[in-house]
Structure 1
Amino acid sequence: MKNRSVNKLLHAEIVDMGGMPVRQPFPTQHIEQIDPFLLLHHHVSKLPEHLVPHRSGVGPHPHRGFSPVTFVYQGGVHHRDSRGNNSVVYAGGTQWMNAGMGIVHSERPPADIHAHGGVQEIIQLWVNLPKTHKMNQPQYIPLQAEDTPVLELEGGTTKVKVVSGEFEEVKGPITAPTPVLALRIEMREGAEYAFPIPAHYNAFLYLLDGSVSVEGYGLVEGHHLVLLHQDGEGCTLKATAATRLLLLAGEPLQEPVASHGPFVMNTQTELMQAMRDYQQGKMGILVED
């Protein structure tokens, strides 16, 4: 297997998202997207005891034209939407929503967040939808930790949860509208593994913490994203400190992107239509109880 070379190393700077601090390795002035991936946010916060969970987090807001995906690492996320979905996914689980033609949803800490330590740690990834799927009916897929296949490799020193795509002949439960490989990886210090990546996919690694040595490149520490060139079939990592990381790879869409806030389409005209449709209630209404 030929290892991919490193294209860029991106630091996840802290940005303010409506009063919520998040780490954002992309988009930045250096890189707008990693087709088909549009954005990555890493958020960690402790909910104060006096705050009511169902009034915290992110309130009702719309999406159209892409898939917001949430990987839950600590605590949980309570999702409600205008299509009647109402679900809590806890640590180790993933929420995958194909917004399609439009949906309104909220993302709050669960009512029992303090019983789970009071800390919410999540990564949200925006995956673009191809033009042929942008106006599909919305779809919400909650995947709990216990329903996610786990591979223990090299004597258990490396654990891989397969969320989407196929890894070492194990298929993830979620089938994305466009081919995506999504792996949640934990490596103990000293662990080493060669991760295969489909040769025609764009791919990157994001380290939540710890550090790894990327073969052919060198040391990468937590809160950094490693963008890989499309010049090989995999990437070999050695953990120099215990680490949690995401490996994301996807088939590039190679389509024009027009985006404004929560809407991602192909043209400005489609964006204007999305805004009108939301204002006219065509994406539904979410009333939280």
Structure 2
Amino acid sequence: MKIKEVETVLKAPAPHMVGDGFRVHNFFPSGYEIDMSPFFLMDYGSKIEFSARKEPRGVGIHPHRGFETVTIAYHGAVAHHDSSGNSGIIYPGDVQWMTAASGILHKEYHEKNYSLKGGPFQMLQLWINLPAIDKMSKPKYQAIKQADMASFVLPNDGGKIEVIAGKFQGLKGNATTFTPIELYNARLNKDGEATFNFPDHFNTGFMVIEGRIKINDNEIADVNSFVHFKNEGNEVKIVAMENSIILILSGEPIHEPIVQYGPFLMNTEAEINQAIEDYNQGRFGYIEE
């Protein structure tokens, strides 16, 4: 088994606000020009304290087409509503997997009880591209609670690996995906070790949510940094230098042209123009303010 070596360890880019409720560091595509297909975008909200507020902060109604949004909660709580009639709240450890596909309107905002109390807030959102054949499929919504996740307990009190999508040590994640994707939360205790294996052509990255880790016995990655791996080799070993949480993402790239316009991710300019027209004509459905 050949080691999958680190390409680079990336520090968090300067943050910006999405709405008034989400302070995020965009690692890609704008923060760093790295190829992480099928993952098109990663907005990481490093830990921040929000003051108590009666009116919840968040992002108002906006459309999406052509991809999926995956939101992973570490601190705080977020509520969601969309034009397909789905709604839910994600608490720390939970995942919200929304397939926009042919088109959806949604809004995301701080859950009301969290908003009234305030406190620490830390989230991450991925945009996962869909292959052309699936871009106009029916929208869907997967609510994945931490309590329902497959969890592999590491030996020697090393911690655990929560499987969101894909498979680890024979345990399968609950999320259904359109292309091969591995997505886990590795929750390691100090000195805990874990070894992962991915196909050499998969685009692979580790986001250090908490703590500090050593990778393949030679690279160090601190909290709020992203580890981007080379597309060769299979095996990655990590050791937690302190109690750590690492989001593991690896996926088979989609080798198709991409045209992005704001919240639309399609293959051609014509499809973008159609998305804009469909949105303006109200074809994405309706959602209350």
TM-score of the superposed pair, with normalisation by structure 1: 0.93
> In 2, are the aligned partners of 1:78 and 1:107 still within 8 Å (CA)?
yes
> In 2, are the aligned partners of 1:75 and 1:116 still within 8 Å (CA)?
no
| 1:282 aligned partner, one-letter code | R
What do the CA deviations read for 1:56-112 (whole angstroms, capped 9, x no partner)? Answer: 111111100011100011122111000111111211110001110100011111122
- Distance across 1 between alignment mates of 2:245 and 2:117: 20
Select which of 47, 52, 55 maps to 2:50: 47
* Residue 38 of structure 1: aligned partner: 40
Percentage of identical aligned residues: 34
| 1:58 aligned partner, one-letter code | V
Residue 9 (1) aligns with residue 9 (2): yes
| Mapping for residues 219-234 of structure 1, pairs under 5 Å | 219-234=220-235
CA deviation after TM superposition for structure 1 residue 271, in Å: 0.9
CA deviation after TM superposition for structure 1 residue 117, in Å: 6.1
> In 2, are the aligned partners of 1:208 and 1:245 still within 8 Å (CA)?
yes
| 1:17 aligned partner, one-letter code | M
* Residue 86 of structure 2: aligned partner: 85
| Mapping for residues 114-263 of structure 1, pairs under 5 Å | 118-215=119-216, 217-263=218-264
What do the CA deviations read for 1:12-48 (whole angstroms, capped 9, x no partner)? Answer: 2123134543122222364154111111111144332
Q: Higher mean Cα deviation, 195-204 or 34-43?
A: 195-204
SS, match of residue 278 in structure 1: helix
SS, match of residue 10 in structure 2: strand
Moved over 6 A (4+): none
SS, match of residue 14 in structure 2: strand
> In 1, are the aligned partners of 2:55 and 2:115 still within 8 Å (CA)?
no
Q: How many residues matched?
A: 286
Q: Higher mean Cα deviation, 153-162 or 87-96?
A: 153-162
> In 2, are the aligned partners of 1:12 and 1:26 still within 8 Å (CA)?
no
Where structure 2 has 5 or more consecutive residues not aligned to the other structure, the ranges are none
Select which of 13, 16, 23 maps to 2:25: 23
What do the CA deviations read for 1:207-236 (whole angstroms, capped 9, x no partner)? Answer: 112111111641111111111112112201
What do the CA deviations read for 1:189-224 (whole angstroms, capped 9, x no partner)? Answer: 211221122333211111112111111641111111
SS, match of residue 156 in structure 2: helix
| 2:131 aligned partner, one-letter code | P
